[in-house]
Amino acid sequence: MTASDLDLIRESFARILRMERNKLNLSQEELGHRAGITTRFVSLLECNKQQPTISTLASLSQALELPLSEIFKKIEDGV
């Protein structure tokens, strides 16, 4: 896996996070509250300025009512 592949994965995750949050009509603040992270961190994730840990991914998955496997599938599919 190259550095550019990792960049694409990170960009895809940021886009999917925003898309899924918007599908549920959640603000960044509400998503952060549900996931136990700050609004600022949600913003940084959606702007691809930070990367989540596995535990943060799990928290976001629960907050978005979307299995982790589905998030990874969307990343692989380039959604």
The answer as to whether 27 is a domain residue is yes
Name the domain count of the chain: 1
The answer as to whether 20 is a domain residue is yes
The answer as to whether 14 is a domain residue is yes
Residue 27: the pLDDT is 98
Q: What is the 3-state secondary structure (H, E, C) of the chain?
A: CCHHHHHHHHHHHHHHHHHHHHHCCCCHHHHHHHHCCCHHHHHHHHCCCCCCCHHHHHHHHHHCCCCHHHHHHHHHHCC
> What is the pLDDT confidence band of residue 79, given thresholds at 50, 70 and 90?
low
Structure tokens at 70: 């589905």
The answer as to whether 79 is a domain residue is no
The answer as to whether 35 is a domain residue is yes
* CATH code, 56: 1.10.260.40
Average pLDDT score over residue span 5-17: 94
The answer as to whether 24 is a domain residue is yes
Domain that holds residue 48: 3-72
Contact 17, 46 (CB under 8 A): yes
The answer as to whether 77 is a domain residue is no
Residue 1: the pLDDT is 79
| Span 18-70, pLDDT tens digits | 999 999 999 999 999 999 999 999 999 999 999 999 999 999 999 999 999 99
The answer as to whether 66 is a domain residue is yes
